[in-house]
Amino acid sequence: MSRLPTWLWAAALAVYAFLYIPLAVVVLFSFNDSMLNAEWVGFTTGWYVKLLHDADMLRAAGNSVLIALVSSSVATLLGAMAGLAMHRYRPRWLPFLVLTPVAMPEILLGVSLLLFFRQVLDLTLGLVSILIAHVSFSIGFIAVIVRARLAGMDESIFEAARDLGATPWATFRRITLPLILPALLAGFLMAFTLSIDDFVITFFVAGVGVNTLPLQIYSMIKVAVTPEVNAVSTLLMALTLTLIILASRIAPDLLRTRA
């Protein structure tokens, strides 16, 4: 392999810098001992302490975690079924149904669910509407991960199980399930991060009563730039970072399915 020219390295490094410097600024100023985000004054962890005493923020964080746990559990179950169905039975219409919610602009799913919940179901917007919305956009991600895992497997092991007299349920429990377990775990973590991070769709279906962490951040940055936003952003970043690294450890091919 020929050596890469220096200018290519320089250009690529500049792009990496473009990706990282804005986020580094957010993290750095979360430790800045000044109300204004203008210049560095001194180190403090005071903004994090303030966060711990912010009742609105804590309630929003609690909602976010609850919604993420429930929606990603349901989405993992339904997504695994969808992935299994796409791999084994291949109904032509299923990929359209499963993948379109992932590919379409989020705002379209958001407004259509808002209309549906209010106009057709006459549902009061809140936890339930957010949960349903999060499940709908997570199913596709999990289905893709599970299908990729199944596609990489040797079909003959399922035939062998059948030949040895295993019922479909026994084959599933003893063979399929253990084999797709890493994909399920990785998919669950992925859905969890998608849910806890989602802003656009939640924004339309949340109504007035229930706040999530991204909605709370949105209403804060609309008003003013405060170091408290930096602190909560940094914590959220640390959480999703941990989850994504965990997910990619469990299923290393995840990086490729995402691309």
Partner 1 sequence: MGSQVKWAVILPPSLFLVAFFLLPSLIVVLASLRETGEFGGLAPFAGAASLTIEAYRFLGGDLIYAEILLRSFLVAALTTVLCILLAYPLAWLIARSPKQRRDLLVLLVILPFASNFLVRIYAWIMILGPAGLLYTPFAVIAGLVYVHLPFMILPLYTNLEKHDPALLEAAQDLGANAWTRFWRVTFPLSLPGIFSGAALVFIPVLGMFAVPELLGGTGDILIGNLIKEQFLDNRDWPLGSALSIVLTVCVLFLAALAAWAAKRGLHGTEAIS
Contacting partner 1 within 79-108 (CB under 8 A): 79, 81-82, 84-85, 88-89, 91, 94, 97-98, 100-101, 103-108
| 204 is an interface residue for partner 1 by CB under 8 A | yes
Q: Which of 61, 114, 189, 210 binds partner 1 (CB under 8 A)?
A: 114
Q: Which of 18, 55, 163, 223 binds partner 1 (CB under 8 A)?
A: 18
For the chain, give the number of residues: 259
Q: Which of 66, 70, 128, 132 binds partner 1 (CB under 8 A)?
A: 132
Residues 157-196 that bind partner 1 (CB under 8 A): 168, 193
Q: Which of 35, 58, 115, 177 binds partner 1 (CB under 8 A)?
A: 115
- Cβ proximity to partner 1, 66 vs 200, nearer residue: 200
In whole angstroms, give the CA distance from residue 247 to residue 196: 15
Residue partners of 105: CB distance under 8 A and separation at least 6: none
In whole angstroms, give the CA distance from residue 31 to residue 22: 15
Residue whose C-alpha is closest to residue 162's, from 177, 153, 151, 174: 174
The residue count for binding partner 1 (CB under 8 A) is 81
| 135 is an interface residue for partner 1 by CB under 8 A | yes
Could you identify the residue written with the tokens 């949340």?
206
- Cβ proximity to partner 1, 182 vs 204, nearer residue: 204
Stretch that binds partner 1, among 51-59, 65-73, 147-155, 213-221 (CB under 8 A): 213-221
| 246 is an interface residue for partner 1 by CB under 8 A | no
DSSP designation for 240: H
In whole angstroms, give the CA distance from residue 114 to residue 130: 10
| Least distance CB 55 / partner 1 (angstroms) | 21
Residues 218-237 that bind partner 1 (CB under 8 A): 218, 221-222, 225, 229-230, 233, 236-237
Q: Coil, helix or strand for 43?
A: strand
Separation of CA 38 from chain center? 32
Tokens of 183: 């994909």
Instruction: Phi first, then psi: give them for residue 125, nearest 5 degrees.
Output: -65, 145
The neighbour count for residue 28, using CB atoms within 10 Å, is 12
| 244 is an interface residue for partner 1 by CB under 8 A | yes
In whole angstroms, give the CA distance from residue 84 to residue 120: 31
- Cβ proximity to partner 1, 182 vs 230, nearer residue: 230
Q: Which of 50, 65, 73, 116 binds partner 1 (CB under 8 A)?
A: 116
In whole angstroms, give the CA distance from residue 36 to residue 71: 38
Q: Which of 66, 69, 70, 78 binds partner 1 (CB under 8 A)?
A: 78
Residues 41-70 that bind partner 1 (CB under 8 A): none
* Cβ burial 148-158 (10 Å sphere, 16+ → b, else e): bbbeeeeeeeb
